[in-house]
């Protein structure tokens, strides 16, 4: 990057902040409120600081210099350098990506192996309960839309998905190759300014999960019939826009809001009085928990089964599963668990959850319930 133009741009920015920005902001306050308006207790002297305190409070509320300065800086970074603040990577044609999909966390390789061991251990635990665990990975948005990334993707990140599939398969874990199905219509499967998949993306992955269940696990029965209906169009303010704070001053210059049509899934009338026993559980992240994407509904329809959704927002994929495993009574009558795991979380550390200890306690509980005891080791 040429230093001289960069310094010039920042110099202009500095001058704007010190001159134009205060004038514009103050003018806006005066126009909105019809002039200065703040109260001073007439019984108090100007010398005791009351006047000064109220004056400062007025400007804190109305000048909004800080907010405008942030927007100006964000606009410069976005329009001049095609950058956002930490947390987002600006791609081509208005596409935004989470930096979590590109940057490498500390001890990434070690964390990846530990997480894969954890997943395999959870699968073994469910197998002992005669329950099938299926891993439904969510490929990184940048993997599916690689052509929209303006820059290189670390090779260690690029290898994660293939390594995950191969490692889990070697461990005997049922894992769906969801990426194969997402390459067909990549541009419609994720939102431009959000980390999440669109309802179309959720539907494709739900169908891929059901197809795997029938072809690889050998399930054939369809217990219930569901139908999905499109709802009114909604506006989406992408979560990645929080890292490009152009609003309210420069909103119209940046990536505009997105619109999508959510959907809702219902059991058909003939099945409303069928058995209400739940034999399928869904565990995952906001990809599964957020009803706007309707992944749970699409999965019901594709599987032909009702399900209980234990997914949670903002907790990653491991904490919801850890919480579910603390009460094994919920697995009574269950024969299928679908665990949705976004690829971008595979290299993060979750060692504080101590899955091995929890699974060991659960195994002892199962043995005790069966009237058996664990032989002490010498």
Report the distance separating Cα 119 and Cα 131, nearest Å: 14
326 alpha carbon, distance to own chain's centre: 24
194 part of the active site: yes
Token duo for residue 370: 């069966």
Strand intervals (E) in the chain: 88-90, 96-98, 132-138, 174-175, 226-230, 234-236, 258-260, 263-267, 280-283, 308-309, 336-342
Peptide bond preceding 248 in cis form (omega within 30 of 0)? yes
64, 98, 123, 194: which one is catalytic?
194
Strands 308-309 and 258-260: unpaired
29, 286, 288, 311: which one is catalytic?
286
14-37 burial string, b = 16+ CB within 10 Å, else e?
eebeeeebbeebbeebeeeeeeee
DSSP state of 255: P
25, 98, 123, 196: which one is catalytic?
196
Most distant CA pair in the chain, distance: 85
| Surface-to-core class of residue 265, CB atoms within 10 Å of its CB (0-12 exposed, 13-18 middle, 19+ buried) | middle
Q: Is 87 left (phi over 0), alpha (psi -120 to 50) or beta?
A: left
Q: Which residues are catalytic?
A: 194, 196, 286
């Amino acid at each position: 990057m040429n230093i001289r133009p960069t310094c010039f741009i920042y110099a202009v920015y500095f001058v704007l902040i010190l001159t134009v920005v205060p004038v514009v902001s103050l003018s806006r306050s005066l126009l909105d409120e019809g002039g200065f308006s703040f109260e001073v207790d007439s019984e108090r002297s100007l010398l005791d600081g009351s006047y000064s305190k109220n004056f400062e409070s007025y400007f804190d509320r109305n000048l909004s210099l800080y907010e405008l300065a942030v927007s100006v800086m964000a606009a410069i970074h976005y329009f001049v350098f095609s950058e956002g603040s930490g947390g987002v990577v600006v791609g081509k044609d208005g596409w935004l990506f989470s930096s979590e999909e590109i940057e490498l966390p500390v001890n990434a390789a070690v964390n990846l192996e530990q997480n894969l061991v954890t997943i395999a251990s959870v699968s073994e635990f469910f197998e002992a309960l005669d329950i099938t665990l299926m891993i439904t990975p969510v490929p990184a948005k940048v993997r599916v839309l690689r052509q929209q990334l303006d820059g290189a993707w670390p090779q260690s990140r690029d290898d994660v998905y293939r390594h995950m599939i191969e490692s889990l398969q070697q461990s005997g874990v049922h894992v769906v190759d969801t990426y194969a199905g997402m390459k067909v219509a990549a541009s419609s499967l994720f939102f431009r300014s959000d980390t999440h998949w669109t309802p179309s993306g959720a539907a494709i992955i739900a169908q891929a999960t059901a197809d795997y269940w029938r072809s690889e696990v050998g399930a054939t029965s369809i217990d219930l019939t569901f139908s999905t209906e499109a709802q009114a169009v909604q506006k989406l303010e992408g979560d990645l826009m929080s890292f490009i704070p152009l609003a309210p001053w420069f909103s119209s210059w940046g990536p505009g809001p997105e619109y999508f049509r959510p959907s809702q899934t219902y059991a058909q009338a003939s099945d409303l009085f069928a058995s209400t026993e739940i034999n399928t559980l869904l565990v995952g992240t906001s990809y599964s928990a957020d009803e706007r994407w309707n992944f749970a509904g699409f999965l019901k329809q594709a599987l032909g089964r009702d399900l209980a959704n234990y997914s949670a927002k903002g907790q990653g994929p491991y904490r919801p599963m850890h919480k579910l495993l603390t009460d094994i009574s919920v697995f009574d009558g269950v024969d299928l668990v679908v665990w949705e795991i976004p690829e971008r979380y595979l290299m993060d550390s979750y060692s504080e959850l101590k899955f091995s200890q929890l699974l060991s306690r659960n195994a002892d509980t199962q043995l005790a319930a069966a009237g058996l005891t664990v032989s002490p080791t010498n």
